Chains A and B, each alone.
Chain A
């Protein structure tokens, strides 16, 4: 295990239904990393002296495995005409709250399903479940991001309806989720006014990858030192054509523009 960060592999990820205890639905198909990474490989350490060495060219992209799986997910979404959005933010910026406000507004327009990613607990999935939409929780254990394999497994459990919106809430973390394509149509990064308007410059990879940025908690602007215009400008420097929404999930201010954008995306498929 890595001492600097503690992240492990996705073999430890557990897919759960809301309220379900841990330990269920371990599903390792298509992946050879079993519990605790015991590779079950005989390995002897007798070092002979005259070993012949041979160099083998690979030229293989390290993220290839993830990227291939992400493309499979993307194909699944395309075939079922599903719009998948990957929601990313620091812990606590308001991803789940935003979904709680957004989903009821979609009723009667299009179906929504949700995949929740957290290291532990089904708390977020329980909050979404209370809205009456299909949801599964991916617990990544020590892992600090969702990857394409976890989504692949979660999709089998969730079986989202054709023509629906799929919201994937990533683990609260602005660093590595940027590297892992899940097969989504777009990345939506959420930032809140309590975080500092230089966030886009501190985490350029994330903002560079993002298609949409939601500045949340603008109800708190009078109480914090945060310049929304500066923040937006910083984000634009890193991602020139990012879609931008200022809103407060709490008061509902600015939500209309976001909901209208979402409806347009769903209509345009």
Chain B
């Protein structure tokens, strides 16, 4: 649904950073997307080239690292993987769980080619 506007904000951010660095173009953008971030990596990959058109990120390779979602039970301390923002502890059935990874959505790095 929203991946185009997301792609545009990524392009804005990396383009601005690349300009500060005096880049001629961006060859690679590294993203980290948690499984619970609410972002479809596939849709983002699809939208990105269009969003990057006419910017320093045009033609850049998009490298997405997906992070598994892990929760910890607040009652018994059990760590387990989840696929949903909420879950029940498989050990003690408590609902007091907190997600400790999987919600990240971060631009990790860009690789630039030096400008002339």
User: What string of 1s and 0s marks CB contacts (under 8 Å) between B75-116 and chain A?
Assistant: 000000000111000000001000000000111111111100
Report the contact-size class of chain B (Cβ under 8 Å from the partner): 35 or more
Q: Is the CB of B17 within 8 A of A56?
A: yes
User: Bound state CA distance, A191 and B107, in angstroms?
Assistant: 35
A145 at interface by CB-CB < 8 Å? yes
CB-contacts of A201-245 with B (<8 A) = 204-205, 208, 237-240
- Asked, given contacts A4-B46, A56-B109, A59-B108, whether A204 binds B2 with beta carbons under 8 Å apart, the answer is no
| Nearest neighbor of B20 in chain A, beta-carbon distance | A56
- In the complex, the answer to whether B1 meets A5 with C-beta atoms within 8 Å is yes
Q: Are A65 and B13 closer than 8 Å at their CB atoms?
A: yes
Chain A: residues with Cβ within 8 Å of the partner, total of 49
From B6, B107, B114, give the contact of A54 (CB < 8 A): B114
**Residues of chain A with a CB closer than 8 A to B21's CB:** 54, 56
B12 at the interface (CB under 8 A from A): yes
CB closest residue in chain A, given B87: A237
CB neighbours (8 Å) of A43 from chain B are 54-56, 58
Query: Could you tell me if A7 and B107 are in contact, using CB atoms closer than 8 angstroms?
Result: no
Among residues of B, the one whose C-beta sits closest to the C-beta of A4 is: B43
Within 8 A of B (CB), among A1-18: 1-10
Q: Is A55 an interface residue (CB 8 A)?
A: yes
How far is A122 from B28 in the complex, measured between Cα atoms in Å?
42
CA distance A66 to B9 in the complex (A): 9
Contact of A175 among B1, B8, B112 (CB under 8 A): B1
B24, A37: Cβ atoms under 8 Å? Answer: no
Give Cα A2–Cα B1 distance, bound, in whole angstroms.
9
Bitwise, A21-39 to B at CB < 8 A (1) or not (0) is 0000000000011000111
> Digit string of A54-87 for contact with B (CB within 8 Å is 1, else 0)?
1111111111111000000000000000000000
* B73 at the A interface (CB under 8 A): no
CA distance A39 to B105 in the complex (A): 25
Contacts of A6 in B (CB 8 A): 4
Report which A residues bind B (CB closer than 8 A).
1-10, 32-33, 37-39, 41, 43, 51-66, 143-145, 147, 173, 175-176, 178-179, 204-205, 208, 237-240
